[in-house]
Amino acid sequence: MPPIERVYICGLGAIGAIYAARLGETQGIEVRVVADPARIARYRRDGVSVNGRPLTVGYLRPDDAAPPADLILVAVKRHQLEAAVAAIHRFIGPGTIILSLLNGIDSEAVIADSLGLPPLPLAMVVAIDAVREGGAVRYSQPGVLVFGEPVATETPSPRIAALAALFERAGMPTRVPADMRRELWWKFMLNVGVNQLSAVLRAPYGTFQSVAEARDLVRLACREVVAVAAAEGIGLGENDIDSFFPVIDRLDPQMKTSMLQDVEAGRKTEVEMLGGTVVALGRRHGIPTPVNQTLFDLIRVIEQG
Ligand SMILES: NC(=O)C1=CN([C@@H]2O[C@H](COP(=O)(O)OP(=O)(O)OC[C@H]3O[C@@H](n4cnc5c(N)ncnc54)[C@H](OP(=O)(O)O)[C@@H]3O)[C@@H](O)[C@H]2O)C=CC1
Ligand SMILES: CC(C)(CO)C(=O)C(=O)O
């Protein structure tokens, strides 16, 4: 597989801007952000910055004529995914790799199904504390991009090797686990616990680092993920809950989850893809999920308040 040189990004938010900045500074990589004219006008007028440095990047409108990308990074919120897929479809060629940086367990399948493509690689960004206010993005921990094929394998496929080579050139930390599907579920469990509780408690990471009761509440929500995951053939356990607290403990105590940022900015949250998914899977498998039902209802009330 040829090296990745042309990267298009859809979603210039907390995550997308960090990837645009890092890849855009890498010799030999062309980065362009795909967005509708209204968003492009806003980015040009108000500016986008990452840790105080203005971002200079080229833009592409969904109906522009441009060569297919080698790689498309999708970094929108879950409820924005369908529109993002429509925006990128013109830039997909036979060799284009699409990598979804969204949280949750279904975005890759949604993208592939909508576009009639074979299964995409699975991906997630972990241990990052990105915060966005308007177009100003800040982070203290850059995190790790974790990706792999959807079917467990010890040997990286050509597209996974090409992705690893790209991010190594850009000096961005990556990890390629053998069983990426299980990793995605592990991160999903973390987000179900920490993101939802942070939104209800209006709590930054510091609360989950120092308040025992907050950690206990996270555990209660995550145990329901362990139960539905088992019914879906994914083996997670209490030790997997234990293993994410050290990740949260290393984040800036004053920074906030993406869901708390949405609540504070009055935006729609990703609650359907977190608690909503747990509740739906619980119903399908006859597993009670009262904690996630409660969190779901609370966050829906907050969204409408
Ligand atoms: N923030 C974090 O620390 C982390 C977030 N994640 C996950 O990454 C994903 C992205 O999160 P995050 O970056 O925080 O979200 P943001 O809300 O900061 O960014 C999403 C961006 O996508 C833009 N967008 C939405 N729809 C379109 C579209 N159709 N075309 C072009 N641009 C579009 C939005 O523009 P506009 O503002 O104009 O709507 C916004 O700038 C989520 O799934 C989140 O859960 C994962 C790890 C950590
Ligand atoms: C793990 C965490 C909480 C930060 O990386 C996240 O994924 C988010 O804010 O959505």
Asked whether the domain spanning 181-304 has the same topology as the one spanning 6-178, the reply is no
- What is 181-304's CATH number, 3.30.470.20, 3.40.1360.10, 3.40.1400.10, 1.10.1040.10? 1.10.1040.10
Q: Which ligand is nearest to the CA of 77?
A: 1
For residue 197, how far is the Cα from the chain centroid?
A: 18
Q: Which ligand 2 atom is at minimum distance from the Cα of 258? A: 9
For residue 1, how far is the Cα from the chain centroid?
A: 26
The finding on whether 103 has its CB within 6 A of some atom of ligand 2 is yes
C-beta separation of 114 from 135 below 8 A: no
Tell me which DSSP letter residue 172 carries: -
CA distance 290 to 216: 15
Dig out the tokens for 206 from the structure. Answer: 């510091």
Please give the class, per CATH, of domain 6-178.
Answer: alpha beta
The amino acid sitting at 254 is Q
CA distance 264 to 297: 18
Interhelix angle 290-304/212-231, rounded to 10 degrees, is 110
Helix (H, G, I), strand (E, B) or coil at 66: coil
Q: Which ligand is nearest to the CA of 272?
A: 1
For the stretch 118-134, pLDDT in tens is 999 999 999 999 999 99
Q: Where are the domains of the chain?
A: 6-178, 181-304
Per-residue pLDDT of the chain (305 residues), as tens digits, is 899 999 999 999 999 999 999 999 999 999 999 999 999 999 999 999 999 999 999 999 999 999 999 999 999 999 999 999 999 999 999 999 999 999 999 999 999 999 999 999 999 999 999 999 999 999 999 999 999 999 998 899 999 999 999 999 999 999 999 999 999 999 999 999 999 999 999 999 999 999 999 999 999 999 999 999 999 999 999 999 999 999 999 999 999 999 999 999 999 999 999 999 999 999 999 999 999 999 999 999 999 98
